[in-house]
Amino acid sequence: MDSHQHDKNRVERARGRQMAILVIKLFFVALLPYALTAHLAVISPQDPVLHIGSSLTAVCTISTELEITARSLYWTLNGKRLARNTYKVLSPTESSVTLHQLNGSLQRSGDNLVCHRSNGEVLAGSCLYVGSPPEKPINLTCWSRNTKDLSCRWSPGSQGETFINTKYILKYKLKWYGKEKDCEDYTGQMYTCYVPRDLAIFTPYEVWVEASNQLGSAASDVITLDILDVVTTDPPPDVLVSRVGDLEDQLSVRWGSPPALKDYLFQAKYQIRYRVEESDEWKVIDDAGNQTSCRLASLRAGTVYFVQVRCNPIGIYGSKKAGIWSDWSHSTAASTPGIDRSHIGSCDSKPTEHNSTLRKELKQFFGWMRKHSYGCTDVSIKLYDQWRVWLQKAQKTHDQVLQSGKS
C-alpha cells in the first residue's frame, strides 16, 4: 500500500514538472514575436529630453527581415494616432514623424511615441520628456515641535510645474562647522521634509533646498535659524468652556499649558477663537496674553458656541524670536443660558423712566468698574452685563412681592 502511494506521488510530481515546463515554453513562444520585433525596429532619438515649445523629428528604422516597407507604418503619441501629414518615408526601411511646439509631458514617466505596423502591432517606442528646468525654490520656512525635530516647507517657484520628474532635496548643516546633510523623510505634504532627531540647540543651522531634473537645477536662498527661534508646540490641553452663573451672554474658558514644554523657560501667549453653532465664521481674541483663562462676553443668549485655543511659546531659553503658533485645539462646545422673557411687554414703567434709571445706576457703577479689570474682554461691557443680570433678578423679586401682596 505504501509503495503504491509512493509511486503515485512520484507520477504526480513528474506531471507537475512537465506542466511547468510547458507553461514556460508557451510564455516564451508568446513573447517571441515581440522580442524579435524589438531587435528588428528602433526609434531614434531614444527617450529625448526637450524644452516646452521644442520641435522633434523621430525616425523609425525597421529591418528588412520584417518583410514590410516603411510606407505601411503609422505613429501614435500616448495612444492617439498622429496625422498622416506629419509622416515622411525616408527610405523603404525608414519612416519619420515631425512634431512642432511640444507641450509639457502629460505623464511624469514621459509621453509614449510609438511606431506601428499596419495591423496595429507595436514595432518600437520612445519616451518623450518635455518640460522646463526647475525654478529657484522660494518661501522656505521651518519649525520645530517642542525643540525635538525640524520640519521645513517651500514653494517650487513662481511657475511651479516642470511637467517632468523634478527632485527636491532639503539640505542643512551647522553654520560654523559640521557636515552637510540631506533630509530624508518626504512622506508628508508635497514640498515638505521632516528631520526627526539629532538636532543641536543654541547653535544656528543653515538650511536650503536644491531642485533638479533632466533639464537643469536650481537652489533656494540659504536661511539661517536656531531651533529655539522656530519652536511650536502642541495645542493647549484640557480646554473647558462653562457658563458664568446666570449671565446669559458670557462664557468662561480655561485651558492647560503645553505639557511638552513644562521643563523649558518660556512665556506662552494664547489666542482664542469662537463661533456660533450654525456659522463657520470664527471671531478671534488676540489679547488673551499668558493667562490660562478668559471670559467671553457680549454673546447671544441661549446659543451654542464652539471654542478653540492655540499657543505661541515666546522666548524659550531667552530666544528673541516670537515663536510659532500651534495648531488650534479641538473644538469645545457650551451654550449660554436662555433669556427669561416672562416680563417682556410689562407696563410697570415707561421707557423713558427705565432709561433714566439705567443711566443713573450705570453712573454709580462706572467708578467701581475701573478698579476691577479681569479676563480678556472690555471691562465696562463685562461688568455692565453682570449689573444687567442683577437688575433682572431685582425686578423679578420686586414683581413677586407685588404679586403676593395682591393675592
pLDDT tens for 17-66 read 555 444 333 333 333 344 444 478 999 999 999 999 999 999 999 998 88
Residue 331 vs residue 400, higher pLDDT: 331
What pLDDT is recorded for position 377?
46
Residue 63 grid coordinates = 529591418
For 196-265, strand residue ranges (E) read 205-213, 216-219, 223-225, 231-232, 240-243, 251-254
Grid cell locating 338: 436662555
- Write down the domain spans for the chain: 41-131, 138-229, 233-335
Q: In angstroms, rounded to a whole number, what is the distance separating the alpha carbons of residues 135 and 210?
A: 10
Residue with cell 485651558: 255
Task: Dig out the grid coordinates for 207 from the structure.
Answer: 538650511
Q: What is the pLDDT of residue 319?
A: 80
Other Cβ atoms within 10 Å of 201 Cβ, number: 13
pLDDT, mean over the chain:
80
Q: Is 5 helix (H, G, I), strand (E, B) or coil?
A: helix
Strand order in the sheet with 122-131: 49-51, 122-131, 111-116, 74-77, 80-81
Tens of pLDDT, residues 2-15: 444 545 555 455 55
Strand partners, 268: 313
Stretch 240-264: mean pLDDT: 90
Phi then psi for residue 351, to 5 deg, are: -55, -40
- Asked if 227 and 147 touch (Cβ cutoff 8 Å), the reply is yes
The mean pLDDT value for 303-312 works out to 95
Share of the chain above pLDDT 90, in %: 56
96 CB neighbour count, 10 Å cutoff: 19
Residues of the chain above pLDDT 70, percent: 73
CATH T-level topology, domain 233-335:
Immunoglobulin-like (2.60.40)
Cell of 75: 505613429
Interatomic CA distance for residues 384 and 91, integer angstroms: 97
Query: What is the average pLDDT across 376-381?
Result: 46
pLDDT for residue 361 is more than 80 = no
Strand pairing class (192-195; 150-155): antiparallel
Burial label for 194, CB within 10 Å (0-12, 13-18, 19+), is middle
Read off the pLDDT band of 353 (50, 70, 90): very low
**pLDDT tens-place string over residues 135-160:** 999 999 999 998 889 999 999 987 77
CA distance 150 to 153: 10
The pLDDT of residue 406 is above 60: no
pLDDT at 109: 82
CB burial of residue 214 (10 Å; 0-12, 13-18, 19+):
middle
pLDDT at site 381 = 46
For 101-131, what is each residue's pLDDT tens digit? 999 998 888 899 999 999 999 999 999 999 9
d(CA 127, CA 112): 5
Tally Cβ neighbours within 10 Å of residue 69.
Answer: 15
Mean pLDDT of 298-314: 93
Residue 166's pLDDT band, with cuts at 50, 70 and 90, is very high
CA-angle at 337, arms to 288 and 245, nearest 5°: 65
Q: How many CA atoms lie within 13 A of 234 on its CB side?
A: 14
Range from 138-142, 202-206, 266-270, 399-403 carrying the lowest mean pLDDT? 399-403
pLDDT band (50, 70, 90) for residue 258: confident
pLDDT at 274: 97
Closest CA to 383 of 391, 396, 372: 372
For residue 118, CA distances in Å to 123, 222, 378 come to 10, 57, 84
Give, as one character, the DSSP assignment of residue 12: H
84 pLDDT tier (thresholds 50, 70, 90): very high
Task: Quote the pLDDT of residue 280.
Answer: 93
Domain 41-131 has CATH 2.60.40.10: yes
What is the DSSP code (8-state) at residue 23?
A: H
What pLDDT is attached to residue 56?
96
The pLDDT, as a whole number, for residue 265 is: 77
Look at 243 and 395; give whichever has higher pLDDT.
243
Q: What is the pLDDT of residue 10?
A: 54
> Model confidence at 259, in pLDDT bands (50, 70, 90)?
confident
In angstroms, the CA 321 to CA 230 distance is: 8
pLDDT at residue 370, as a whole number: 45
Cα–Cα distance, 134 to 169 (Å, whole number): 13
Question: CATH topology of 41-131 equal to that of 233-335?
Answer: yes
The CATH class given to the 138-229 domain equals mainly beta
Query: CA-CA distance, 60 to 45, in Å (whole number)?
Result: 9
pLDDT of residue 360: 53
How much is the pLDDT for 375? 47
C-alpha cell, 235: 495645542
Let me know: does 247 contact 337? Beta carbons within 8 Å.
Answer: yes
Q: Which residue has the higher pLDDT, 186 or 158?
A: 186
Task: Show the CA angle centred on residue 235, arms to residues 287 and 172, nearest 5°.
Answer: 105
Residue 356 has pLDDT above 60, yes or no: no
Lookup: cell for 245: 452663573
Stretch (H or E) spanning 360: helix 351-369
